[in-house]
Amino acid sequence: MKFTIARDRLLKALQLATGVVERRQTLPVLANLLIKANETGVALTGTDLEVEIVAHTDVDVEQPGEITIPARKLADIWRALPEGSDVTLSVEGDRATVRSGRSRFTLATLPAVDFPKIEGGETDVVVSVAQADLRMLIDGVGFAMAQQDVRYFLNGMLFEVTEDHLRTVATDGHRLALSTKSCSLESPIAERRQAIVPRKAVLELGRLLDEEDEDIRIQLGTNHLRVSKGAYTLTTKLVDGQFPDYDKVVPKDASRTLVGDRDTLRQGFQRASILSNEKYRGVRLTIASEQLTIQANNPEQEEAEEVVPVEFNGNELEIGFNVSYLLDVLGVIADDQVKLSLSDANSSALLEASGSDDAVYVVMPMRL
């Protein structure tokens, strides 16, 4: 196998494929990238047996072939080479050689036949969604995903497909985020389809997306999801489990509504949080007709108080929240105005952009 390519043309593909490779391996070959070179170009594949990324790059191949090469070493070498340089990758026997200018690196290899592949199985739902919308679906709810929760089905993001929309939902049991965007289906479906995508795959998908104006193709099977974007394909196994019924969690018919400036609220919460309890991060909200008072204190009996002007209809209310959860939501809402809907001090709050219902956020209260 032998080909020559500009360093910068292969760098992104190399970094994305290497991103899924774990540092600690059960099989030596999983620390490697599969590199296939043929008349159509070069394909790089990285996997951890749960998530797989394949990146294609057009290049004139001198000698076709396939081999696996240590992923992180190859990526580090490629990154360290000078910008604008040409790089030649060749394989002889069980050694791969990377040459660029006066630099030469020889790497150990493993046979391509040993490299595992995720079997996708049959695909029964194919969705097309704008890249910008998919990015918002992921970025807008990803912060609410659980990390290493014993309820394994929370360590991921729910993708829900209906006739005309794609919805993402994430929750860690204390807060819930939900976002909805329109999409198109290749063929109609009889009922909504749900799939839980593991946390790692969601993070890698976020890295894959960029600012270009193009449609993304999502293929959903019984136990896998495949996302195709230009020269890149991400395939992931799905989390086997039942996601909570999010409809029951989203508050309905709240009796109190607060509307305020997002930046002003965010800055008020940030300043008050400085003196909140470092472990529990609790703040007390006292809401009256035209102002919100944010209070925080800590075991050292230090106190912070912020008063923020707001529009509020309803009876005066005092309620406690984890300030980090509120700041996370205010960090992803893009609108200038934020609406907070409340019923009482023991019920969850509903946050959303004042002028849009594409995304809603639910935060449970705290006892202070």
Q: Determine contact, residues 251/348, Cβ cutoff 8 Å.
A: yes
Reply yes or no on whether the pLDDT at 289 is more than 90: no
Question: Dihedral (C-alpha) 274, 275, 280, 281: value to the nearest 10 degrees?
Answer: -40
Query: CATH 3.10.150.10 occupies which residues in the chain?
Result: 2-114, 123-248, 250-363
Nearest CA among 260, 358, 257 for reference residue 308: 260
Output the six-digit token pair for 20: 């899924």
Q: What is the pLDDT of residue 229?
A: 95
Q: What is the pLDDT of residue 143?
A: 97
CA 317 vs CA 41, 243, 255, 285, 353: distances in Å:
64, 33, 11, 8, 21
> At 317, is the pLDDT very low, low, confident or very high (cuts 50, 70, 90)?
very high
Q: Homologous superfamily of 2-114 in CATH? A: DNA Polymerase III, subunit A, domain 2 (3.10.150.10)
- The phi, psi pair for 52, rounded to 5°, reads -135, 135
In three-state secondary structure terms, 214 is coil
Reply yes or no on whether the pLDDT at 29 is more than 90: yes
Spatial separation of the C-alpha atoms in residues 237 and 62, rounded to whole Å:
35
| Residue pLDDT, tens place only, 67-85 | 999 999 999 999 999 999 9
Q: What is the pLDDT of residue 119?
A: 81
Q: What is the pLDDT of residue 368?
A: 81
Nearest CA among 368, 355, 349, 357 for reference residue 176: 349
Exposure pattern of 101-129 as b/e (b: 16+ CB <10 Å)? eeeebebebbebeebeebebeeeebbbeb
| Residue pLDDT, tens place only, 227-283 | 999 999 999 999 999 999 999 999 998 999 999 999 999 999 999 999 999 999 999
Mean pLDDT of all residues in 122-146? 95
> At 357, is the pLDDT very low, low, confident or very high (cuts 50, 70, 90)?
confident
Q: Which numeric CATH code is attached to 123-248?
A: 3.10.150.10
Helix (H) or strand (E) holding 338: strand 337-342
| Residue pLDDT, tens place only, 335-350 | 999 999 999 999 999 9
Q: What is the pLDDT of residue 122?
A: 84
For the chain, the first-to-last Cα distance in angstroms comes to 66
Neighbours of 192 (CB within 10 A): 11
CA angle 323, 148, 134 (to 5 degrees): 75
Spatial separation of the C-alpha atoms in residues 352 and 251, rounded to whole Å:
12
Level-2 CATH architecture, domain 250-363: Roll (3.10)
Taken in order 87, 91, 92, 98, the sign of the CA dihedral is: positive
| Residue pLDDT, tens place only, 170-220 | 999 999 999 999 999 999 998 999 999 999 999 999 999 988 889 999 999
DSSP assignment of 15-69: HHHHHT--SS-SSGGGGEEEEEEETTEEEEEEE-SSEEEEEEE---EEE-EEEEE
Spatial separation of the C-alpha atoms in residues 8 and 338, rounded to whole Å:
42
Spatial separation of the C-alpha atoms in residues 352 and 362, rounded to whole Å:
9
Q: What is the pLDDT of residue 121?
A: 76
> At 166, is the pLDDT very low, low, confident or very high (cuts 50, 70, 90)?
very high
Spatial separation of the C-alpha atoms in residues 328 and 311, rounded to whole Å:
22
Spatial separation of the C-alpha atoms in residues 144 and 249, rounded to whole Å:
14
Q: What is the CA radius of gyration of the chain?
A: 25
Q: Determine contact, residues 324/281, Cβ cutoff 8 Å.
A: yes
Do the bridges between strand 311-313 and strand 359-363 make them parallel or antiparallel, or are there none, so unpaired?
unpaired
Share of the chain above pLDDT 70, in %: 100
Q: What is the pLDDT of residue 123?
A: 87
Neighbours of 336 (CB within 10 A): 12
Bigger pLDDT: 367 vs 218: 218
Mean pLDDT of all residues in 310-322? 95
